[in-house]
Amino acid sequence: MLIKDIGEFALIERFKRKIKTDSSVIKGSGDDCAVLKLDKQNHQLFTCDMLVEGVDFTLKDNSYLVGRKAIAVSLSDIASCSGKPRHCVISLGLPKNTSLSFVDKLFQGMLDIAKKYKVNIVGGDLSRSSKVVLDVSMLGEVEKKYLTLRSGARVGDIIFITGELGGSISGKHLQFTPRIKEARFLSRNFKVKAMTDISDGLTSDLGHILEQSNAGAVIYEALIPLSGKARNLSDALNNGEDFELLFTLSRPQALKLLKRKLSIFRPIGEIRERKYGFQLIDKRSRPVNIKPKGFKHF
């Protein structure tokens, strides 16, 4: 059997079954960040992300923006847990005929976004490779009372997203804004039940919340905010790399947020009992069963 026969998530589950952790681990594999014991007030957050030429970017892309993205995707993971990014290490795989100007621009993109979000670059590794590969491992911190995971959604919660969805391939996937500020605002002012970022696609990432929370959901086509570059609804639902926040609030907390009239936060649906499954109500008020889709590596 080949890995393409079982797919990305089955392969991850195959690994997870063999992993054993000790009492220093609050949350291991299965969320946006690992959560580790730190001190009486705070948890440590730990995440890593890899960008591979031909999968996550091409050599025709602006290498400054590719470098920026390498840091930004890990920042987005930290935001999903309502954390503050602190330190990172960077590993680069580079073909030996790579131009220095390409590498200089790549690294400048990393330096600039790290400075903006007050992340210390503290080391890394270099290796020769057949393609350009960037791997970032990042540490963050979050106050225990503010930690948000995928597993906290409850029946009756209202589902929200930040921003607009779809058309990321037209440029947003290289220039998105990690929602650190928005996540910190939410955790400090509201009781966020569950949160993740939309990296693989709305249906896929909401599917992760539903699986972890043992719940179902209904979302409404009329409430899905499409970006100006979205080709269609399917693009917004399934294509991913928007890196917006996806989160749930209890109904009273949702009303409290909506009273703020902040256009960045948009309700799109509701958490239901698992037995009702995952449905989209289309613009003709017809229910459509959703099978989570999104980007898969295998």
Residue 214, phi-psi category: left (phi > 0), alpha (psi -120 to 50), beta (remainder): left
pLDDT value of position 14? 87
Residue 298 banded pLDDT, cuts 50, 70, 90: low
Residue 143 banded pLDDT, cuts 50, 70, 90: very high
Long-range contacts at 285-292 (CB < 8 A, ≥ 24 apart): 287/218, 290/203, 290/219, 290/237, 291/203, 292/201, 292/203, 292/204, 292/206, 292/207
Q: What are the E-state strand segments in 95-239?
A: 120-128, 133-143, 158-162, 192-197, 216-220
The string of pLDDT tens digits covering residues 46-76 is: 999 999 999 999 999 999 999 999 999 999 9
The DSSP 8-state label assigned to residue 164 in this structure reads: -
The string of pLDDT tens digits covering residues 203-236 is: 999 999 999 999 999 999 999 999 999 999 999 9
Looking at the chain, the whole-number percentage of residues with pLDDT higher than 70 is: 98
The tokens for 130 are 């057949």
CA angle 241, 94, 52 (to 5 degrees): 20
Q: Is the dihedral of CA 61, 65, 71, 77 positive or negative?
A: negative
Q: How far apart are CA 67 and CA 91, in angstroms?
A: 12
Domains of the chain: 3-145 (3.30.1330.10), 148-289 (3.90.650.10)
